[in-house]
Amino acid sequence: MLGICNGFQILVESGLLPGALRTNEYPKFCCRWVNLRVEKTDTAFTSKFRKGEIVRMPIAHKEGNFFADDATLRGMNSNREIAFRYVDSDGDAVPDSNPNGSVANTAGVVNTSGTVLGMMPHPERASEAVLGSDDGLRIFESMVEYADASRDISVSTPKSMVKVSPGLKLLFSHTPNYQNQSASYH
């Protein structure tokens, strides 16, 4: 599951990712290109990157200041849940490279299994070199590679199960009355 910008806010507010997103430290809308350092590469979203690699993507937000209390941040660091950090062109996470005041220069967060990513930068706006960068494209290529390797992904909740199989066939099981209902999408 990928949450970009407001999608990241939803993932945090729903409890799927730790922390909170607040108004930027400098309370105005931020729209510019930033440098990010890749912190974690063993996820469904970052396998096409190298750890420590510096990439460029744009941001566009007013409420992108990631916050976590000290105990949560220690846990996130211990569990390697920070996927991207704001950095300068040398790869240093310094205050001047942090566009919104995010704690520990945090730009992107994953869950412990690496299957949920929330990030404020916009990889979809960095998918063509002619537009300034194609670094964001590798997030989507990583997702495709992960899906191809998985071939059969199941997501379960307490009351339902959705199974995604090759060919984008979705199988739904909600209650005994609806078992074995399926829908195919082309």
| Beta carbons within 10 angstroms of residue 41's beta carbon | 17
Is 61 in the active site? no
**122 annotated active-site:** yes
Kindly state the tokens that stand for 132: 């300034």
Question: pLDDT tens digit string along 22-62?
Answer: 999 987 899 999 999 999 999 999 999 999 999 999 999 99
Strand partners, 108: 84, 119
Read off the pLDDT of residues 139-174 as tens digits, 9 standing for 90 and up: 999 999 999 887 765 555 544 444 444 443 333 333
Pick the catalytic residue from 5, 30, 39, 61.
5
Catalytic residue among 25, 63, 124, 141: 124
Active site residue 31: no
State how far the Cα of 142 lies from the Cα of 73, in Å rounded to an integer.
26
pTM of the model: 0.80
Q: In which element (H, E) is residue 137 found? A: helix 137-150
The domain ranges of the chain are 2-149, 152-184
Give me the CATH topology for the region 2-149.
Rossmann fold (3.40.50)
- Residue pair 107/64 in contact by the 8 Å Cβ criterion: no
Tokens of 175: 């209650």
